A = this chain, B = another copy of it.
Amino acid sequence: MKYAIKIAYDGRAFSGWQKQPGRTTVQESVEKALTAFCHEDVSVHGAGRTDKGVHALGQVASFELKYPLPLETIISAGNAHLPDQIRLMEAAHVDDSFHARYSALWREYVYHVWTGASCYPHIRNYVWWKRRADWDMEKVRSACRKFTGTHDFRAFCRAIECPPNAVRDIARMTVAKRGPLIRFRIRGKAFLTNMVRIMIGTTDHIAAGDCSLEFLDYLLRGAHREEGGPTAPAQGLILQKIGYDVPLWPSVGS
């Protein structure tokens, strides 16, 4: 029997999603928790390989069980075996052909920038705090429009992990400002390593006047990584939602 689960985590405690020897990762923590009460070795496949320090509200993972269990048991027993910083939020039965990563139609990330002189203690671990940043929001909106669409994003990929084909499609990128809080929403089929964070780091340079909008056009035609902007901090990034052809958890409207 195949299952999908929706997972939320506070990225601070983990070296990212993907299993790595000698590091505490979300994937390994979830596999250990499921294995502990399912009485079989469970391997989970995640939709988004979030980096060290990146948060998730809507990561999705799939796994198979030889000995089926009720969905409520998976959530409650899973959470009982997981550290506080990881929570299973939803569970669903899925077709045998479902794979959290390969079946995903799109991934949506949110990135928060806080521009106040002080930052609320409740949110400081979930934002990039750019103290007193005075961004030109018209330029930021123009940058979002330029990023949207199909481009060669190799200037926006961690150099040693750049694949031969770095063409990706950004379905939409929006920005909203409310007082000192700036929120980006970025949706695309697939992303390169560090891609969203380098997009935000480059947008920061544009918004502050350190890089022109015309240079962004150049960057999006397949420039080298060194020509792109810096990688914005992981802690501002949240994996918000994964899109599939049918809603996985209709009860919650997502």
Quick one: which of B75, B79, B86, B120 contacts A87, CB cutoff 8 A? B120
**Given A10-B122, A121-B84, A253-B179, does the pair A89, B75 have CB atoms closer than 8 Å?**
no
Q: Which residue of B lies closest to A120 (CB)?
A: B8
A223 to B: closest C-beta gap in Å: 35
Quick one: which of B89, B121, B124 contacts A116, CB cutoff 8 A? B89
Interface residue? A252 (CB, 8 A): yes
Decide if A119 touches B87 in the complex (CB within 8 Å): yes
Interface residue? A103 (CB, 8 A): no
Interface residue? A160 (CB, 8 A): no
Decide if B87 touches A8 in the complex (CB within 8 Å): no
- Residues of chain B within 8 A (CB-CB) of A116 are 89
- Residues of chain B within 8 A (CB-CB) of A90 are 118
Interface residue? A3 (CB, 8 A): no
Decide if A87 touches B118 in the complex (CB within 8 Å): yes
Decide if A118 touches B253 in the complex (CB within 8 Å): no
- Residues of chain B within 8 A (CB-CB) of A252 are 179-180
Query: In the complex, how many residues of chain A place their beta carbon closer than 8 angstroms to a beta carbon of chain B?
Result: 29
- Chain A's interface: helix, strand, loop or mixed, by majority? mixed
Q: Which residue of B lies closest to A131 (CB)?
A: B76
Interface string of A1-24 (1 = CB under 8 A from B): 000000011100000000000000
Interface residue? A85 (CB, 8 A): yes
Quick one: which of B8, B85, B86, B118 contacts A79, CB cutoff 8 A? B118
- The CA of A57 and the CA of B123, in the complex, are separated in Å by 11
- Residues of chain B within 8 A (CB-CB) of A253 are 179
Decide if B85 touches A55 in the complex (CB within 8 Å): no
Decide if B121 touches A8 in the complex (CB within 8 Å): yes
Decide if A85 touches B121 in the complex (CB within 8 Å): yes
Decide if B75 touches A117 in the complex (CB within 8 Å): yes
A159 to B: closest C-beta gap in Å: 31
Decide if B87 touches A121 in the complex (CB within 8 Å): yes
- Residues of chain B within 8 A (CB-CB) of A153 are none
- Residues of chain B within 8 A (CB-CB) of A87 are 118-121
- The CA of A248 and the CA of B126, in the complex, are separated in Å by 28
The 7 closest A-B pairs by CB, nearest first: A10-B121, A8-B120, A89-B118, A87-B118, A85-B121, A87-B121, A79-B118
